[in-house]
A and B are shown apart, each in its own frame.
Chain A
Amino acid sequence: MKKKIIVIIMCMLFLGCISEGNKAKTISIAGSTTVQPISDGLAEAFMKKYDISVTIQGGGSGTGIKMVGEGTIDIGASSREIKEGEKEKYNLKIYPIAIDGLAIIVHPSNKIENLGMEQLKKIFSGEITNWKELGGEDKEIVLVVRAEGSGTRDFFEKKIMGDVSLSRKAMQKPSNGAVKATVAGNENAIGYIGAGYIDDYVKAVRIEEVYPDPENIRSGKYELSRKLYYITKKESEDVKKFMDFVLSDEGQDIVETLGFIRIG
């Protein structure tokens, strides 16, 4: 009996060693859900080229920065600028990897095609509460926003709301996908998502008569655009290889095919 137990323990230790050995060849990425489609696309191509596996998680920009700072993951993804405090505290390296537009979306059946910045502010602060006031149908406006601390929400509030606070009637959703699903399922809803997420289920409106297509975002004509970042701390050889790939022409081509704008 004793022998059996010893054998079992030996087996366990042995198996433990094996999995430890395999771990070296993976890169982990986590953070902003806006950056996630880019990470997915890049990782797929990268894994085909090299024998290194890449794992990708969401979690939000704050989580990504925090986790890379604490060394839990190799690369953090962020859709907001990294705060000075975070940069100094963790000693981080920051790479802009793409440019993204923030699209304001409504249900495809909504007749509204264009909104001004001032109108947006009034809508999201709760001053305008009915589509009628904007020339639409006589329906109450349903606001859909991201949860407190999201990089996308940070950007939206800084750029559009300024000092005005958000209406307390806004429904909060945990990800870009959840905002899109809610707006797609409710003809009274308005929300915001990364332009890379736009598809036929929702309609992006023009902002000050400018549509969030790649050209307008790149040229800066579309006002709601921002940079997306990868953040690293200690870079292993594999991580360096990945970052080189991301910033290479090949990597940036992938960024573009995914509906985002290349950097530089």
Chain B
Amino acid sequence: MKTEKIVEKILLIFALSATLVIFLIIIFLFKEGLPILKKEGLGFILGKIWNPGKEIYGALTFIAGSLSVTFLALLIAVPLGVSCALFLAEIAPKRAESLFRPVIELLAGIPSVVYGMFGLIVIVRFIKVSFDIPTGETVLACSIVLAVMILPIIISVSEDAIKSVPRIYKEGSFALGATHWQTMKRVILPTASSGITASIILAMGRAIGETMAVVLVLGNVEMIPKSILNPAEALTSVILLEMGEASVGGSHYEALFAVGIILFIIVMILNIISMKIGVRKK
């Protein structure tokens, strides 16, 4: 009995420390970043010029960069991911499924810097040559890399959603004379739609927070991209590139934390939305 109690206490401590870490991160992030956010106000979010040497901080270019690569990545990954999930859950024979699943899981396990290197050597090069542009480090290259990275999330979460559609719906549809495709289109996908939406939002959070691969293939140019063949710079990249050089406590350092706050809030909102959608489903 006594050991039982001890184990319970130990587990409680572990659980508490895990949640404590989150709160510490939030407190620290806001403590370091809020002063400059307050000082710069809306200008921090709407300003287009980022010049730490002259203490001008406007993060709009980075916000635009992050959002554009994320949305383009979703545009590529969602149709692919959802069809793949539908195939795995509905059409694929057991043998094919047992081949596909480990491959997709493997895709999720590749470190992001490896994706970045692959993107830099293959995709960036390919885009440069095929569009005949000065540099292949573009929004398009970055979106393709990100799309591959978020595919596993979309596939596995959507597949779960599709599989959890009650069998009687499907059987009912068949009984009314619907074909398999009609059933998938009219019954299964609409029923699973909240789960699929949740998967997309989760993937969005992953894409917007990705750092290493993005720094390698996006070019890091401080301009709002005018087309998908322009380079850009993401919120995460500016932190990675400049953190090492900013002196502690200076305004540059604080500004980077403020960028972190923006990023944190965006990801937080996405997570809450996906949780809300997940709950509604149940």
Contact = CB atoms under 8 A, between A and B. Distances in A.
Interface in B231-274: 231, 233, 240-242, 244-248, 252
Contacts of B215: 174
B116 to A, nearest CB: 11
A231 to B, nearest CB: 14
Interface stretch (B65-73, B181-189, B217-225): B217-225
Interface string B201-235: 00000000000000100011111000000010100
Nearest to B117: A181
B252 A149 contact: yes
Contacts of B137: 171, 182
Q: Which 7 residue pairs across A and B have the least CB separation, nearest first? A: A149-B245, A147-B241, A62-B245, A140-B134, A172-B220, A60-B244, A63-B244
B52 A173 contact: no
Contacts of B52: 148-149
A172 B246 contact: no
Interface of A: 1-2, 5, 59-63, 66, 70, 86, 139-142, 147-150, 165, 168-174, 181-182, 185-186, 188-189
Given A140-B134, A188-B135, A173 B242 contact: no
Interface string B49-85: 0011100000000000000000000000000000000
Interface string B133-167: 01111000000000000000000000000000000
A111 to B, nearest CB: 17
Given A60-B244, A141-B134, 20 more contacts: A2-B2, A2-B3, A66-B247, A142-B134, A147-B220, A148-B242, A148-B245, A149-B244, A149-B245, A149-B246, A171-B219, A171-B221, A172-B221, A172-B222, A174-B240, A174-B244, A186-B136, A188-B134, A188-B135, A189-B135
B134 A173 contact: no
Contact of B222 (A1, A168, A174): A168
B128 interface: yes
A147 B50 CA distance: 12
A139 B134 contact: yes
A43 B134 CA distance: 41
5 contacts: A59-B244, A66-B248, A172-B220, A174-B240, A174-B241
B128 to A, nearest CB: 7
Given A139-B134, A140-B134, A62 B244 contact: yes
B54 to A, nearest CB: 9
Interface size class of B (residues with CB under 8 A): 20 to 34
Interface of B: 2-3, 6, 51-53, 120-121, 124-125, 128, 134-137, 215, 219-223, 231, 233, 240-242, 244-248, 252
A56 B252 CA distance: 26
B245 to A, nearest CB: 3
B229 to A, nearest CB: 12
A96 B106 CA distance: 49
Nearest to B245: A149
B9 to A, nearest CB: 12
A60 B252 CA distance: 15
B223 A168 contact: yes
A62 B52 CA distance: 14
A149 B53 CA distance: 8
Contacts of A182: 137
Given A171-B231, A174-B241, A62 B247 contact: yes
Contacts of A142: 134-135
Contacts of A186: 128, 134-136
Given A186-B128, A186-B135, A169 B223 contact: yes
Contacts of B2: 1-2
A41 B252 CA distance: 34
Contacts of A172: 220-222, 233, 241
Contacts of B124: 185
Contacts of A86: 247
Given A142-B135, A174-B215, A61 B245 contact: yes
A62 B246 contact: yes
A115 to B, nearest CB: 19
Given A1-B3, A171-B137, A186-B135, A148 B241 contact: yes
Contacts of B241: 147-148, 172, 174
A1 B10 CA distance: 14
